[in-house]
Amino acid sequence: MSSGVVGGRQSAVGGGTGADRLLAIGVPLLVVFLYLNLSEALVRYHNFPSLLKLVVVGLAFAAWLERERIDVPRQPLTLFVFAFVFVAFVSTAWARDLEIADVRLLALAKAAALFALATLLMRDRTRVMQGIVALVASSFFLGVLVIVQHLTGDFDNEMGGLARTKDAHIYGELFRPRAAGPVGDPNFFALVLLIPLPIAILLALQSKNMRKRVLWLSAASMNLVALLFTYSRGALVALAVMGVAILQTLHVRWTRTLGVVAIAGIVLLGTLMLFPSTLAKRFVTIEQVLPSADAPLRPDSSFQERRLLMNVAWVMFAANPIAGVGIGNYTARFDEYVGATSSAARQYEDPSDLHYPHNLYLEIAAETGLIGLVVFAGMLIACWRALSDARRRFRDCDRTLAVIAVGLQIALTGFLVGSIFLHLATPRYLFLLFAFAASLQRLEP
């Protein structure tokens, strides 16, 4: 048995101090708060104070009591995470709008702090598994809320802020409620739902316990249905890439693989039968972004808008290739560079609106230049290597952890594919994924 597991059991059940008891529930508590965006929901809908701050302070103090066991700063991933925050901080020196820059910098700094705290807490196998279970269970819970909402048709009931909706464009002239979850935006909610999905599927595949397999598959099914109700086309592309990755990277029996595919197909078919004219037609419009000799007779305005926003980001980067225009300042400099692009979508843009590139990589390039891109790439490579290392080390001695490492790699792939169509509005979710990677790398077989 690994020393990490022994340490985990001692800290979870040994002793009787308040710090011990807090640490025993610290990881799932933190993951649930982060994934459900619970603190914001309580503040927005129930006038609570920010409970996340209270949770973080308590857990940080408890982690400090275990500081002699901490070796996180030596990990490349941790160094790159804080290097990226530092690059963002330095870029505020030439940001035109300091207020926007400070808001974005604060979001990144908070995400990095939460990454550090989660990594400190998940120092043994028990706590890593608690975090994974909390992550998947949270996505299952959100999926149930979304399904209940659509079955009842009561979209005014936002379930205390955890099942928000947005009346948004579907196709043609049709608008209908789209699931936006606790983050308040359908596309970002879909991106958040992508993270636990491959983990749940792969854990179901490797589990030899029928009860656990059913639980993992149930969570994956609820997650998938909720994802479809976001009507996010970018998430559908990411989902397809993740599906191929699951089939290509795992050496599992084809009977199990086909079983999962069949279940996923049934869930997808059942969902499409509920709303055949909305889901199917919404997703078919994705062909408009593919290379084609024929332009559509009625182009989707959202595609036109995104082309404009991406073009502006590219022009902005070309004009400021080394250091960018400053974190968060894409919108502050938008009107300055939009004239250098040509797009019919300009008619859709309100000059008073905030603008975002709708592409993570162009956003980083435009706002932090090549410096930011290099550091961000280093962060992703460090994360991938951490997961690859964990996968290799645990392949023969702990199949579950090895499978989780693979699932996190596929989740990272899906997140990055989905981010081709979205900017980094919610960095805490990506940094939570980084925390799992760093934690797995620390564990001893």
In a domain? residue 269: yes
Angle at 241 between CA 432 and CA 430, to 5 degrees: 10
> What pLDDT shows up at residue 3?
40
Domain membership of residue 399 (yes or no) is: yes
Q: Which pLDDT score, from 0 to 100, does residue 10 have?
A: 41
Q: Can you give the pLDDT at residue 279?
A: 55
Range with the poorest average pLDDT among 180-184, 229-233, 343-347, 385-389: 343-347
Closest to 45 (Cα-Cα) out of 143, 156, 147, 152: 156
Give yes or no for residue 276 having a pLDDT over 50.
Answer: no
Task: Determine, yes or no, domain membership for 74.
Answer: yes
* Unique residue bearing structure tokens 């090549």: 370
pLDDT at residue 290 greater than cutoff 60: no
Is 163 in a helix, a strand, or coil? coil
For residue 1, name the pLDDT band (cuts at 50, 70, 90). Answer: very low
Burial class (CB in 10 A: 0-12, 13-18, 19+), 124: buried
Tell the burial category of 120 from Cβ atoms under 10 Å away from its Cβ (0-12, 13-18, 19+).
buried
| Domain assignment of residue 295, yes or no | no
The neighbour count for residue 143, using CB atoms within 10 Å, is 26
Q: Dump pLDDT digits (tens) for 48-75.
A: 767 777 777 777 776 676 655 555 557 8
Q: Domain span at residue 409?
A: 3-288+357-442
Contact in structure between 388 and 408 (CB atoms under 8 Å):
no
In this predicted structure, the answer to whether residue 282 has a pLDDT above a threshold of 50 is yes
Q: Lowest mean pLDDT of 21-35, 121-135, 153-167, 289-303, name the range.
A: 289-303
Q: What is this structure's pTM? A: 0.84
| 40 domain residue, yes or no | yes
Q: What is the predicted pLDDT for the residue at 193?
A: 95
In this model, does residue 4 exceed pLDDT 50? no
pLDDT at 120: 85
Q: Is residue 60 part of a domain?
A: yes
pLDDT exceeds cutoff 80 at 88: yes
How many whole angstroms separate alpha carbon 162 and alpha carbon 184?
9
Does 294 map to a domain?
no
176: helix, coil or strand? Answer: strand
Specify if 318 maps to a domain. no
Lowest mean pLDDT among 13-17, 67-71, 134-138, 142-146: 13-17
CA distances for 88 relative to 8, 82, 233, 422, 441, angstroms: 36, 10, 30, 19, 26
> What pLDDT is recorded for position 174?
66
Say whether pLDDT at 291 is over 60.
Answer: no
Is pLDDT at 270 greater than 60 in this prediction? no
Residue pair 327/95 in contact (Cβ under 8 Å)? The answer is yes
pLDDT tens figures, 414-424 = 999 999 989 89
Quickly count helices (H) and strands (E) in the chain. 18, 2
Q: What is the DSSP-derived secondary structure letter of residue 168?
A: E
Integer Cα distance of 393 and 402 in angstroms: 8
Domains identified in the chain, total number: 1
Alpha-carbon gap, residue 314 to 324, rounded angstroms:
11
* Rounded average pLDDT over 316-333: 93
User: Residue 136 above 80 pLDDT?
Assistant: yes
